[in-house]
Amino acid sequence: MVRRIAILGSTGSIGTSALRVIEALGEGFKVVALSAHSNVELLAEQVGRFGPGFVAVTNAEKVGELGELLPDYRGRIIGGPESLVELAELDEVDIVITAVVGAAGLGAVLAAAGRGKRLAIANKEPLVIAGKLLTETAKANNATILPIDSEHSAVFQAMQAGSRDEVSKIILTASGGPFRTAGAEEMHNATIAEALSHPTWNMGPKITVDSATMMNKALEIIEAVWLFGVSVDKIDVLVHPESVVHSMVEFVDGSVVAQLGTPDMCLPIQYAITYPERVEGISSHLQLDQLGSLTFGKPDMERFRALKLGFEVARLGGSAPVVFNAANEAAVAQFLAGRIKFGQIVELIADCLDRHTVRPSVSLEELLDADAWAREEVGRRVG
């Protein structure tokens, strides 16, 4: 049986890697739907190569351009933010790979979960802000959620060594990013180019900045809470600059099971597609003898205040993760536009959290309100 795949955000770092993985998998897997936001040139190329029946351009102003680039295309082209939901709900789709960036992917993941699809999730922000709603929707509709995020793929793989109630700890590893050893002042004034030069992973700009603040790890703590149904008190973060041990699970008897691999997203992307099977793929294999040593250390929670906030926000739950994530998305955009200093990103997030009264449980409407409020608040503060 051919597995039919939709890639939401096919022009990004994860999206393009996913297409390489699927191309190499060959028979048995078919790309049936693709989406991009603005990069219609690359999207048109992908359409020519993979021949999906459905294409979405989420930036409505760019839909016409795609049509002009593909005069002979016989499939359906749709546009606007809501077009992602339409792709996620297609009867023609079995697996939805979510590779868009930010909360913009929320509607589509909820829709795919509601239709009982297999969800291969890279787009972590919806899980962070609506983890309860998403996991409940998935459960009620027999949807399967498989993580693409390398740490969570590692935990998911390690979890198979025991049962959920035998887990005593989840240990998320973190590279530490480009400022792992930087001084506080150097970090505060870091340039865009410095923040974008990640030592081990090659990723899109937003998550690369998140790795530099360690906000990415903070989001991943909350992501793990929802994916694995564990309390935040069972989650630890360990700095591991080599990015080879992708994460670990400690069981009650003291046994620690880790998953290792080269720092290459193709492996977790492929596993989320072929699970429960494993097949030969395009990721290079580890040469541990050439690495010599692997190192681990405690993160500096004072210099990386985002990480400390991440643990606090995960404990608070309710509307706190929504504000935490939205403030970060807005602040990172301001930083990448050259309007604020690197150090102000986390200051703005902390300010937003201070001004927000946490609601213990939130409906989808309240969640969207809190998200909009945090973005406006960052805008007001930056001026």
Which is nearer to Mg ion, 155 or 340 (by Cβ)? 155
Q: Is residue 122 involved in binding ligand NDP (CB under 6 A)?
A: yes
What is the full DSSP assignment across 201-245?
A: ----HHHHHHHHHTHHHHHHHHHHHHHHT--GGGEEEEE-TT--E
User: What is the Cα–Cα distance from 86 to 56, expressed in whole angstroms?
Assistant: 9
Candidate list 73, 201, 251, 275; residue touching ligand NDP; CB under 6 A: 201
CB of 219 to ligand NDP, least distance (A): 7
Q: Among 22, 34, 58, 306, which residue sits at the site for ligand NDP (rule: CB under 6 A)?
A: 58
End-to-end CA distance of the chain: 55
- The residue count for binding ligand NDP (CB under 6 A) is 28
Residue type, 216: N
Asked if 250 is part of the footprint of Mg ion (rule: CB under 5 A), the reply reads no
HSE of 73, CA atoms in CB hemisphere, 13 A: 23
368 binds, among Mg ion, ligand NDP, none (CB under 5 to 8 A by kind): none
Cβ-based neighbour number of residue 241 at 10 Å: 18
Among 94, 125, 149, 329, binds Mg ion (CB under 5 A): 149
Contact between residue 37 and residue 63 where contact means Cβ atoms under 8 Å apart: no
Residue 104 touches which of Mg ion, ligand NDP, none (CB < 5 to 8 A by kind)?
ligand NDP
- C-alpha dist (Å) from residue 225 to 155, 235, 330: 12, 8, 24
128 close to 374: Cβ distance less than 8 angstroms: no
Residue 56 interacting with ligand NDP (CB under 6 A): no
> Does 125 interact with Mg ion (rule: CB under 5 A)?
no
Binding mask 82-121 for ligand NDP (x = CB under 6 A): -----------------xxx--x-----------------
**36: contact with ligand NDP by CB under 6 A:** yes
Quick check: 13 binds ligand NDP (CB under 6 A)?
Answer: yes
Q: Which does 124 bind (CB under 5 to 8 A by kind): Mg ion, ligand NDP, none?
A: ligand NDP
If one counts every other C-beta atom within 10 angstroms of the C-beta of residue 139, the result is: 11
Q: Hey, which residues does 5 pair with through a beta bridge?
A: 31, 95
Residues at the interface with ligand NDP (CB under 6 A)? 9-15, 36-39, 58, 99-101, 104, 122-125, 149, 201, 203-207, 265
Residues at the interface with Mg ion (CB under 5 A)? 149-151
